[in-house]
Structure 1
């Protein structure tokens, strides 16, 4: 019985932070792969969240062949949760490799932001925003589906 109580209490912070359709997203600031700060603001229309390397690879595959600034022109922001990645691997290999991408990756190194938006680890979470408010939420498990959805967003 004590285990159940501890489990429920440990999940309360996650439930308390989960955002619902119609709610305003709290602003946050993360560094990208170039150590440039980005703060979520009312201009963002699409927030993509990847909680695993597999999900991040879906985003990369969906954006392959697109010109630099493609995601930004659609007012899209990509957050990658890399807190499970060993810091040395991230510093020496993963983040330097991301510098060749033609889009920005907001790096959630300490899992401060991604847990606010619960979803499956193996899928890309798509949060549709309108002036900072969540208006829709979707999940994508293939790069083709994600690419098609991005193409529907008007720059």
Structure 2
């Protein structure tokens, strides 16, 4: 029994994960139609792909006053590809232009094909030179806020506190 368990764990450890591969060097437009590019310095991606999740992210980033996100080595990516174009142009984009932070917008789902996501959850990826080190999922605003304040605000603390 122990041998079987060891063999299964060994095989699992060697098996590839869909998000273990480097993310595409993606360049997306933000809500002001400016290029927003993933760089090797990016350490965090907050990825929303449903409307409620987008509201959670907006609320958390606003409440924690994280603008500019680049200072925290963070990019917020919102997948709006399922939204009809006229709705995004008339309602969503004007609303997003009131945000104090940039939002990289996915208008074509192929740009994020293979990115880890779960239905009705926010994905937070920790990166190292385009490689996904860890993936975290959040199904509510409170847990997302706690995680971001705990992990992403470390860049503002003095080195002695990190």
Class of the TM-score when normalised by the shorter of the 2 chains: 0.7 to 0.9
User: What is the rounded CA distance, in whole Å, between the counterparts of 2:64 and 2:111 in structure 1?
Assistant: 27
- Asked whether the 8 Å contact 1:51–1:114 carries over to 2, the reply is no
Which stretch shifts more, 67-76 or 83-92? 67-76
With over 3 angstroms needed to count, the CA separation of the structure-2 counterparts of 1:110 and 1:26, relative to structure 1, is closer
- Asked whether the 8 Å contact 2:116–2:135 carries over to 1, the reply is no
Return the offset for 1:44. 0.5
Aligned residues: 137
- Asked whether the 8 Å contact 2:42–2:127 carries over to 1, the reply is yes
User: What is the rounded CA distance, in whole Å, between the counterparts of 2:38 and 2:89 in structure 1?
Assistant: 24
User: What is the rounded CA distance, in whole Å, between the counterparts of 2:71 and 2:105 in structure 1?
Assistant: 20
- Asked whether the 8 Å contact 2:27–2:38 carries over to 1, the reply is yes
User: What is the rounded CA distance, in whole Å, between the counterparts of 1:94 and 1:19 in structure 2?
Assistant: 29
- Asked whether the 8 Å contact 1:68–1:102 carries over to 2, the reply is no
- Provide the residue aligned with 1:19 in structure 2: 19
| TM-score under structure 2 length normalisation | 0.77
- Provide the residue aligned with 1:124 in structure 2: 122
| TM-score under structure 1 length normalisation | 0.80
Please give the residue correspondences for 1:31-110 in structure 2 after superposition, counting only pairs within 5 Å: 31-67=29-65, 69-110=67-108
Larger Rg: 2
* Structure 1 spans left out of the alignment, 5+ residues: 1-16
Aligned alpha-carbon RMSD (Å): 1.8
Please give the residue correspondences for 1:133-152 in structure 2 after superposition, counting only pairs within 5 Å: 133-151=131-149, 152=151
